[in-house]
Structure 1
Amino acid sequence: MADRAWDPIVTPWHLDERIPAFPIPATATEVVPPALPDGPVPARMSLLHRAAFDTVEQAARPLVLSGDCPTARAVVAGLQRRHYDVAVLWLDAHGDFNTPAISTSGYLGGMALAMLTGRTPGLFDDTLDLRPVPDTSVVLADSRDVDPAEGDALTTSQVRRVPADPAAITAALDQLGPVPVYLHLDIDVIDGAELPGARFPSGPGPSLAQIEDCLATACANAEVAAAYLACAWLPEHANDEAARQTMTRLTAALGADLAWHEPAANR
């Protein structure tokens, strides 16, 4: 596919909590979190997602660096303003397919893909006007670490599960047809040994180099209209040199060139 410039955007929070040390590339637009009232976490997240949506909607080709996965709602809602049909390529060690009804922990970050496919009605307000993405338009790569009920939900869904392998991803994208793609990557898809300080390490998995190949392949074989890196490091490791190097390599595989302030200042 033809190369187009990326518009880097940073959403420096995890669920409803700001990550003060989240690294901000020199060329990125930072979404400044609004003041959040006391109250339920989903209500607070709704305000953050609206702020992200307002920024994403202004970007020609958003590349979002975030501290969580659920903010993907804002990016996909923004794409849906421009494209009636949007497909999702989701690379993650986890399925992110839990719902409040089946989750054993209640962790909202483990429901992000379920949110996009319309499986969490009433959890958030409806100010984004997010339309459920059909299961048949979703490709889930890797997902080596899923809960039993989550696995059952995936099995009975029509989500296409593939290995985090360039050839498998190419074949899956070919089956989706010529539709704009939202590409989502949670860094925990990478082998845990290569991710010091990860918030949710998932043990052995694809190498960073293999994931770079997956991203480059996706961009070469589909119209990737927006991309998202869930940079789920522990807050105290978010601005480590290793974390920033990983972010730089992953975004370079997408065709973006991140520039960092030196030395990287903690925020």
Structure 2
Amino acid sequence: MAERSWDLVVTPWHLDQHLPEFPIPATATQVVPPVLPAGPARMSLLHRATADTVAQSAKPLILSGDCPTSRAAVAALQQRHRDLAVLWLDAHGDFNTPAISTSGYIGGMALAMLTGRTSGLFDDTLGLRTVPDTSVVLADARDLDPAERDSLAASQVHRIPADPAAITAALGRLGPVPVYLHLDIDVLDSADLSGARFPSGPGPSLAQIEECLAAAAASADLAAAYLACAWLPEHVNDEATRQTISRLTAALGASLTWREPAGR
């Protein structure tokens, strides 16, 4: 049977901030949220809209402006997959919680959300089920807060370098389970990444991350992939940004044609 092609989904938000310049591929479905009130319910409503859109996609490839929206993607996948593993490529661990975070920044808690460590942070309308630590592979994570580092050390999350051979081996140890692949662009070496919100210094090259993605696609049943396009708003639609996204998605087997933003 022929392999399914990717269904492109775009959620152009960073937390509850709309990114009007976010690049939109020509064939993508853009998440359209309901009217959003002021206050903490905004992100929950955005996540609900994203989950509904992802649930309608056979093989979603999601372009997003942040990492926490991953909880919506995973909740949608869990509607059709009883078990789901997570491959998380990121310069950060995203393993902070409200109790240990020094900044309170929700974007640094995204993987902790999936593994059930942030109870009460959001409502439970998504029906998100906890992903066991043993089903999570965290690649790179070179930039950790001290308490976050301790929390990861005490967990059963599999820590590996951002290396294609290490990814292939780690996914092989998980067995034949569908995989949600999450990549935050800040995993890239800062020299390869102009305009990132949270650059993290020396790290894997763009070519090495392409090899990592290709290895994951070749060695696992990818149920979905997610690119957290965490560029600063004024850089989120630069030509270099588009080229980076195009190269990363091409490594997964997707070919993007870009839609011109409004006003150009």
TM-score past 0.5 threshold: yes
Partner of 1:107: 105
Partner of 2:23: 23
Q: Match of 1:14, as an amino acid?
A: H
CA distance in 2 between counterparts of 1:250 and 1:2 reads 22
CA distance in 1 between counterparts of 2:52 and 2:212 reads 29
Conserved? CA contact 2:13–2:66, under 8 Å: yes
TM-score in terms of structure 2 length: 0.98
Deviation at 1:2, TM superposition (A): 6.5
The answer for unaligned runs of 5 or more in structure 2 is none
How many residues are treated as equivalent by the alignment?
264
Partner of 2:255: 257
Q: Match of 2:21, as an amino acid?
A: A
Deviation at 1:266, TM superposition (A): 6.0
Deviation at 1:217, TM superposition (A): 0.3
Secondary structure of the residue aligned to 2:196 is coil
Deviation at 1:59, TM superposition (A): 0.2
1:91 matched to 2:92? The reply is no
Deviation at 1:239, TM superposition (A): 0.5
The answer for unaligned runs of 5 or more in structure 1 is none
* Aligned-residue identity in percent: 78
Conserved? CA contact 1:6–1:63, under 8 Å: yes
1:121 matched to 2:119? The reply is yes
Conserved? CA contact 1:22–1:266, under 8 Å: no
Query: What whole-Å deviation, never above 9, does each CA across 1:178-226 have from its counterpart, x for those lacking one?
Result: 0000000000000001111001000000000000000000010000010
- Runs (4 or more) in structure 1 with deviation over 3 Å come to 263-267
CA distance in 1 between counterparts of 2:132 and 2:263 reads 40
Query: What whole-Å deviation, never above 9, does each CA across 1:65-107 have from its counterpart, x for those lacking one?
Result: 0000000011111111111000000000000000000000000
Query: What whole-Å deviation, never above 9, does each CA across 1:226-252 have from its counterpart, x for those lacking one?
Result: 000000000010000000000000000
Deviation at 1:3, TM superposition (A): 3.2
Q: Match of 2:34, as an amino acid?
A: P
Choose from 42, 45, 48 the match for 2:43. 45
TM-score in terms of structure 1 length: 0.97
Deviation at 1:33, TM superposition (A): 2.7
Choose from 235, 239, 242 the match for 1:241. 239
CA distance in 2 between counterparts of 1:15 and 1:6 reads 25
CA distance in 1 between counterparts of 2:174 and 2:67 reads 23
CA distance in 1 between counterparts of 2:8 and 2:176 reads 25
CA distance in 2 between counterparts of 1:120 and 1:9 reads 26
